Structure 1
Amino acid sequence: MLNRIGRGCAALALLLAIGLSGPAAWAAGPTVLAAASLRESMNSAADAWAAKGHDRPVISFAGSSALARQIEAGAPADIFVSADEKWMDYLQTRKLIRTSTRRSFLANDIVLIAPKSSALKLTIKPGFPLARTLGNRRLAMADTNAVPAGRYGKEALQKLGVWNSVSGKVASAENVRVALAFVSRGETPLGIVYATDAKADPGVRVVGTFPRSSHTPISYPVALTAKAANREAEAFRKFLISSQGKAVFARFGFRTN
């Protein structure tokens, strides 16, 4: 009973988050749930779609884990865009997406960032002195147990042999944009985010890029949900994975597949 109530509350929270209790409830555009790291690029893609004469999609951004669980709880959505394959797999095994529409279309990198004013220098390599550099301060990361950016970051630190020394110093954030804000505001001296996040925030600078060999390839899949009902949902999905749509994301620093 409590589980059902919890899921109902989660669905209601998403309804409020995407504004379906107000005028957006009547918007004709598809409802898109997208990873937080896509905020600027997905909004730009939606604007480009609307410029073609279509109704602009209604978009909600959060950690992929939170969005996948909202869909599982029954929240209304036409399209899901995840920052990793695992959360799309999670929905697929539960028959909550239309498998035939699933496509991986974007790639990214993870980087170590510092506030723009910081003069700190570090070379990312096996055994690099991250813990010593942090001292008694913290490392901002998205939730390393659930959020893709956090899981990629943890995997990279493990591969480089430094995770055990910093695991107790992590400032955990609900999504990658919150981790980015921790660093941008100077609340933490270092953080791990996507390269595209760092590009989007003038308040941070990139200290170094993690080798792609140190973590699972960062892949963004898109799919229609099983309950997708909007008449333009499939057309917008196809636009996102088209050469024109990918060009929008490339302008924000994403690599395209």
Structure 2
Amino acid sequence: MHRLAGLFAALAILCGSTPSPVSAQDKSLTVFAAASMKNALDDIDLAFTAKTGIKIVASYAASSALAKQIEQGAPADIFMSADTDWMDYAIAKKVINEPSRVNLLGNSIVLIAPKDSGIDKVTIGGGFDLAKLAGNGKIATGDVSAVPVGKYAKAALEKFGAWQAAEPKFAMAESVRAALTLVARGEAVLGIVYATDAKVEPGVKIVGTFPADSHPPIVYPVAAMTAAKTEAASYLAFLRSSAAKAIFEKYGFSFLVSPTT
């Protein structure tokens, strides 16, 4: 009996010294990213995990909502914003590791309509009358007071003198992807979204492109949190790689930095 008890004790010690599957689980990073980045970033995250074994848990929403969540203590490692204003906001709240910030991507905004719409080939410039074009229908974009795509859209329409008449027709969505869905479902006759969003939604078509000089430059900055895991540096480096550049460009983003590898 004593010998059996000793054997069990030895086995218990041996088993206790072996890492369990739980303690040996994969490392992970939490990424908060602008909604417009979802398709491209999902592909990039898969490539990063395949290369490093580090799992990415991504949360997509409007940059404004994500910045507020980060401010309130949400456990993110990386923040990717669709404009510089919300990154600046997060930096001011002392939650961003400022030296890690990189202005990574560019984009453009476009006017979209449902795929079967009779509206087609709109010239956007001086004299552009968006209100007349929409008729009795709604125009979808992100909330112009906070969501980056909405802010860009309002700036462009103000430049062309088209905002005041069109404003009552706007359906303000919580994110660019929500605005995209409204148009794809035919709940809005027109929408203003990023070119990259229109590219991944078969239910819409691009009917016009806003000139780049009609609004502030569309820049997507990325940075690590002040309390980010050490693996965040590897992820930021991968975002600047040639492999990431190829994926981003496939989805229509412009790459604003020189690829590292």
**TM-score above 0.5:** yes
Q: Deviations over 1:161-188 (max 9, x none)?
A: 1000101110010000000000001101
Aligned to 2:151: 151
Range with bigger deviation, 118-127 or 157-166: 118-127
CA drift of 1:107 comes to 0.2
Aligned equivalents of 1:221, 1:69: Cα separation in 2? 16
Aligned to 1:171: 171
Identity of aligned residues (%): 51
Q: Summarize the alignment of residues 98-247 of structure 1 with structure 2, pairs less than 5 Å apart.
A: 98-121=97-120, 122-228=122-228, 230-247=229-246
1:171 is matched by which residue type in structure 2?
Answer: A
Aligned positions, number? 232
Aligned equivalents of 1:27, 1:39: Cα separation in 2? 23
Aligned equivalents of 1:218, 1:129: Cα separation in 2? 23
Decide which structure has the larger Cα Rg and report it: 2
Q: With the length of structure 1 as denominator, give the TM-score of the two structures.
A: 0.88
Aligned equivalents of 1:255, 1:72: Cα separation in 2? 29
Q: Deviations over 1:218-252 (max 9, x none)?
A: 00000001121x23111001111222222211111
Q: Which secondary structure state, in structure 2, belongs to the residue aligned with residue 120 of structure 1?
A: coil
Q: Deviations over 1:97-144 (max 9, x none)?
A: 001000001000000000011121322111212111212211001010
- Aligned residues: CA RMSD: 1.3
Q: Summarize the alignment of residues 80-99 of structure 1 with structure 2, pairs less than 5 Å apart.
A: 80-99=79-98
Aligned equivalents of 1:48, 1:138: Cα separation in 2? 39
Aligned equivalents of 2:75, 2:126: Cα separation in 1? 44
Q: Which secondary structure state, in structure 2, belongs to the residue aligned with residue 30 of structure 1?
A: strand
* Structure 2 unaligned regions, length at least 5: 1-21, 257-261
Q: Which secondary structure state, in structure 1, belongs to the residue aligned with residue 226 of structure 2?
A: coil
Aligned equivalents of 2:225, 2:40: Cα separation in 1? 21
Structure 1 runs (4+) deviating above 4 angstroms are none
Q: Retained in 1: the 8 A contact 2:26–2:53?
A: no
Q: With the length of structure 2 as denominator, give the TM-score of the two structures.
A: 0.86
* Structure 1 unaligned regions, length at least 5: 1-22
Q: Which secondary structure state, in structure 1, belongs to the residue aligned with residue 94 of structure 2?
A: coil
CA drift of 1:27 comes to 5.8
